[in-house]
Copies of this chain bind each other. A is one copy, B any other.
């Protein structure tokens, strides 16, 4: 039902991490706001899509902050964003996806691919997750906080996140399988990534339930320590 079909604009929109990229070596330009950068060379059509997408997100964020998640119907979000309800579903496969970032997993995957091939699988995985967490930290603070609060509080959102992360986990498993020369369905690789993603998810939930008092990265480092320590303490 909630197929994770490529979202409209997610192709051109997210040209992917493209880590080195042509001419990337020419400087140390920090990661810019992808939206603005992309807008430059995109047709009017694409720019409009980006705007619509952003408008829906913002409307949703605002309304949910005001009235709560369940009390906010998609219809009202659409209204606030000045689009039709069907358009909302054309941009986001489900209501939950409106508040969930959909770039996280691809970020992680790209980060994993970029790890040195000789690195230990667990370490590679942990580094990759950490890096994407860092990238996420670039977002606006409030958005992150609100999002993780929803994850902690609304079962449907949490479920959807897990679903997304499971898909991501599977992709990560495939990448890892390639690195280690195992089959793409190798149970051990899959179990490893599942354990790591499960732990990562719980870390975020802990962070949110705690009221975001700790720093997420610090918390994740403790998680990494537990995993690296062989789950013994």
Which positions in A face B, CB cutoff 8 Å?
1-2, 4, 70, 120-122, 155-156, 158-160, 162-163, 166, 169, 185, 187-188, 190-199, 201-203, 206, 209-210, 219, 222-223, 226-233
With the chains together, A166 CA to B158 CA distance in Å? 10
Q: Can you list 16 A-B contacts with CB-CB less than 8 angstroms, sorted by A residue number? A: A1-B70, A121-B231, A122-B231, A155-B163, A169-B202, A188-B222, A188-B233, A191-B199, A191-B227, A192-B233, A194-B199, A195-B195, A195-B202, A195-B231, A198-B198, A230-B231
**3 smallest beta-carbon distances between A and B, as pairs:** A198-B198, A230-B230, A194-B202
B233 touches A121 (CB 8 A): yes
By a CB distance below 8 angstroms, the chain B residues around A195 are: 195-196, 198-199, 202, 226-227, 231
New A-B contacts (5) at CB < 8 Å, excluding given A185-B210, A193-B202, A195-B227: A191-B199, A191-B202, A191-B206, A194-B202, A196-B231
> What residue in chain B is nearest A214 (Cβ atoms)?
B187
Interface of A is mostly: helix
Chain B proximity of A131: nearest CB distance (Å): 19
By a CB distance below 8 angstroms, the chain B residues around A209 are: 185
Known: A1-B70, A121-B232, A230-B231. Contact between A191 and B163, CB under 8 A?
no
Candidates B194, B230, B232; contact of A198 at CB < 8 Å: B194
With the chains together, A233 CA to B159 CA distance in Å? 30
With the chains together, A47 CA to B54 CA distance in Å? 34
> What residue in chain B is nearest A232 (Cβ atoms)?
B122
Known: A198-B198, A232-B122. Contact between A1 and B190, CB under 8 A?
no
> What residue in chain B is nearest A190 (Cβ atoms)?
B202
Candidates B155, B169, B185, B231; contact of A231 at CB < 8 Å: B231
